[in-house]
């Protein structure tokens, strides 16, 4: 009997790589994304590669919709074994990047830099949207899945945190705050349900070459790469491999843990 896995934000990037990897490992994967057409495309590609998958549109900020999606999966397949909370966004604020760059140039020239004004100019809409997608989305998924996993006393939940869930991110404080919260939620719930045989863990990627970083120009990408000991950004498949391990029986002794995949970077 195939294991049933649900992956959010799986129409592209890391989520797509995770869905493909879990399918290759023998799971039937429910590919979900706010972009329903994208989710269906990925599911179709998995099936064309002799895997097993289905696609569905899902807004992770909608608790009722998340409950219904998980309940529907359990109704159709009898169980849910794996949940991967991957859905995420990253607000690109070019004016902040420009101010950061100007401050760096001023310091290099021995001048007093102007304030970068990152948090003081952050609008409430960006803050709310970041929290709702990352933190609330993860909470909604964990709660919906645990309602079933607690009854079966079995299950694997893997949350996508970030290197900036463990370190500061002056450029994107809203993103760091959400990811720090996911780390706390993972560690707390992981300890709570460990005795039930349920594994809740997180993966903290560093800079991974995905569409989320598409707004960065060549100079910014070069600056990022120069700070990574491995001297290269990671690939979505690097994250997917770690997620697949945490969602397997091989990670039987992992509960409430956060595993990094960063190329040696520390934020």
**Cα 9 → chain centroid:** 8
Helices (H), 113-252: 124-131, 137-152, 173-193, 218-226, 236-246
Those residues with Cβ within 8 angstroms of residue 188's Cβ, 6 or more apart along the chain or in another chain: 256
> Pick the catalytic residue: 136, 164, 175, 207?
175
What are the angstrom distances between the C-alpha of 17 and each of 113, 135, 210, 242, 258?
41, 22, 10, 11, 20
Going by their DSSP bridges, the two strands 258-261 and 28-33 should be labelled as: unpaired
CA distance 223 to 213: 13
Q: Are 245 and 146 contacting, i.e. CB atoms less than 8 angstroms apart?
A: no
Helical packing angle, 13-24 and 236-246, nearest 10°: 50
**Active-site residue flag, 175:** yes
H/E run at residue 4: strand 4-7
User: Active-site positions?
Assistant: 175
């Amino acid at each position: 009997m195939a294991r049933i896995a649900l992956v959010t934000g799986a129409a592209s990037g890391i989520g797509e790589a995770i869905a493909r990897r879990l399918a290759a490992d023998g799971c039937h994967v429910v590919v979900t994304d706010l972009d329903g057409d994208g989710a269906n495309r990925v599911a179709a590609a998995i099936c064309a590669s002799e895997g097993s998958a289905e696609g569905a549109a899902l807004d992770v900020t909608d608790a009722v919709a998340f409950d219904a999606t998980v309940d529907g999966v359990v109704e159709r397949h009898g169980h849910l074994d794996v949940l991967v909370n991957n859905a995420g966004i990253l607000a690109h604020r070019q004016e902040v990047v420009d101010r950061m760059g100007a401050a760096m140039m001023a310091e290099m020239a021995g001048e007093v830099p102007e304030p970068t004004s990152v948090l003081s100019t952050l609008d409430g809409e960006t803050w709310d949207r970041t929290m709702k997608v990352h933190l609330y989305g993860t909470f909604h998924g964990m709660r919906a899945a645990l309602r079933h996993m607690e009854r079966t006393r079995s299950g694997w939940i893997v949350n996508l945190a970030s290197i900036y869930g463990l370190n500061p991110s002056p450029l994107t404080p809203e993103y760091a705050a959400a990811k720090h919260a996911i780390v706390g939620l993972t560690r707390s719930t992981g300890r709570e349900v460990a005795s039930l045989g349920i594994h809740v863990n997180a993966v903290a990627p560093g800079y991974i070459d995905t569409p989320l970083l598409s707004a960065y120009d060549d100079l910014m990408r070069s600056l990022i790469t120069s700070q990574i000991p491995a001297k290269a950004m990671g690939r979505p498949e690097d994250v997917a491999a770690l997620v697949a391990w945490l969602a397997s029986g091989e990670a039987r002794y992992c509960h409430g843990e956060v595993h990094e995949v960063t190329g040696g970077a520390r934020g």
